[in-house]
Amino acid sequence: MKIIVCVKDVPDTESNIRITHDGKGIEQESVTFILNPYDEFAVEEALRIKESIGGEVMALTLGLQSAERVLRACFGLGVDNGILIRDDNFTNDPFLTASAIASYLKNISFDILLFGKKGVDLNYGQVGVMTAEILGIPSVSAITKLEIGKSKVLCHREAEGNVEKLEVPLPAAFTAEKGLNEPRYPSLKLKMQAKKKEIQVVEAQKTDSRINLVKMEYPPKRPEGKIIEDNPEAASKLVDFLHNEAKVF
């Protein structure tokens, strides 16, 4: 089975985000980049499928040359090979990203395409499903389980409190939700071996911008709150605040 996992590296959420002077991006120096948390579930699922029924796992990313670091991180987890679709003018525009990935994949044969549900940096959550739509293959987003059959798979999707069990013919794409699996830790041995692995690089097919990030701003700061030690009057004071000031009830 050939599985392709589309991954992205994102600022570690513990990192302090500093907006650049022109307001169009974030300062890169103080930021630690990690494999997008939702992509970890996708990579893990790909590796499990390979371990259970055999096959090959390829990691794919799109961006500047420096984006290859995320492919190396995937090698450290056990991914077989990696491809960078290089775009020196990468703007995180979801349709552009999906188009570039689809342009590359339309000439590649694969069985399963996996993505994380969304990138925790820009919170778009579209690339997986969009790529599948452009390729004309079925897709299911936010899956919490995947069972591989011969030419079809059964997946679970949690939507609005219900669990949907869906049968999908291959080739198909899926985006991973938390709970799909428990991602493994990288292995030092694999990380060392990864240094020798070659990463294939292709140039991204360009298309016109669809969405433009004009400016980034910090959210308004919340005013300082009233923090008190618990005492016999604390509860009634809080209720007074909620009822008379906040008027919540």
Partner 1 sequence: MSIFVFAEQKDEEFKKFVYEAISLGRGFGDKLGMEVTVSAVGNNISNIVQKLKDYGADIINIVDDPSLKNYLPELYTDILVEQIKESGAKIVILGSTSIGLDLASRIGAKLEASVATDCINIELEDGQIIAFRSIYVGKAIGKVKFEKEPAILTLRTNVFPIIKKEGKGETVTKELNKDLSQTKIVIKEIIKSSKVKKDIEEAEIIVSGGRGVKGPEHFSILEELATLLGGAIGASRSVVDSGWRGHEDQVGQTGKTVSPTLYIACGISGSIQHLAGMSSSKYIVAINKDPDAPIFKVADYGIIGDLFEVIPKLTDEIKKVLT
- Write out the binding residues for partner 1, residues 179-198 only, by CB under 8 A: 179
Handedness of CA 10, 11, 14, 18 (dihedral sign): negative
Choose which of 142, 148, 194, 204 interacts with partner 1 (CB under 8 A): 142
Q: Measured from the CB of residue 181, what is the shortest distance to partner 1 in angstroms?
A: 13
First to last CA, the chain: 57
Q: Note whether 54 binds partner 1 by CB under 8 A.
A: no
By beta-carbon proximity to partner 1, the closer residue of 64 and 169 is 169
Q: Note whether 139 binds partner 1 by CB under 8 A.
A: yes
Choose which of 107, 109, 123, 151 interacts with partner 1 (CB under 8 A): 123
CA-CA distance, 226 to 67, in Å (whole number)? 45
β-strand partners of 194: none
By beta-carbon proximity to partner 1, the closer residue of 107 and 212 is 212
Q: Measured from the CB of residue 148, what is the shortest distance to partner 1 in angstroms?
A: 15
CA-CA distance, 142 to 242, in Å (whole number)? 37
Are 129 and 173 a contacting pair, CB within 8 Å? yes
By beta-carbon proximity to partner 1, the closer residue of 10 and 85 is 10
CA-CA distance, 82 to 60, in Å (whole number)? 6
Binders of partner 1 among 88-117, rule CB under 8 A? 93-96, 98
Draw the binding track, 162-181, toward partner 1 (x: CB under 8 A; -: no contact).
Answer: xxxxxxxx--------xx--
Longest dimension (CA), the chain: 71
By beta-carbon proximity to partner 1, the closer residue of 20 and 65 is 20
Q: Measured from the CB of residue 134, what is the shortest distance to partner 1 in angstroms?
A: 6
User: Which residue shows structure tokens 């056990």?
Assistant: 78
Q: Note whether 205 binds partner 1 by CB under 8 A.
A: no
Residue 41's nearest CA partner among 74, 15, 13, 63 is 74
Choose which of 89, 107, 109, 236 interacts with partner 1 (CB under 8 A): 236
- The alpha carbon of residue 73 and the mean position of all alpha carbons in its chain are separated, in whole angstroms, by 14
Q: Note whether 130 binds partner 1 by CB under 8 A.
A: yes
Are 171 and 110 a contacting pair, CB within 8 Å? yes
Q: Measured from the CB of residue 28, what is the shortest distance to partner 1 in angstroms?
A: 13
Q: Measured from the CB of residue 193, what is the shortest distance to partner 1 in angstroms?
A: 30
User: Which residue shows structure tokens 């591989």?
Assistant: 148
Binders of partner 1 among 3-42, rule CB under 8 A? 11, 13-14, 17, 19, 26, 37-38
Draw the binding track, 206-225, toward partner 1 (x: CB under 8 A; -: no contact).
Answer: --xxxxxxxxxxxx--xx-x
Residue 175, CA distances (Å) to 118, 131, 172, 182 in order: 8, 11, 10, 15
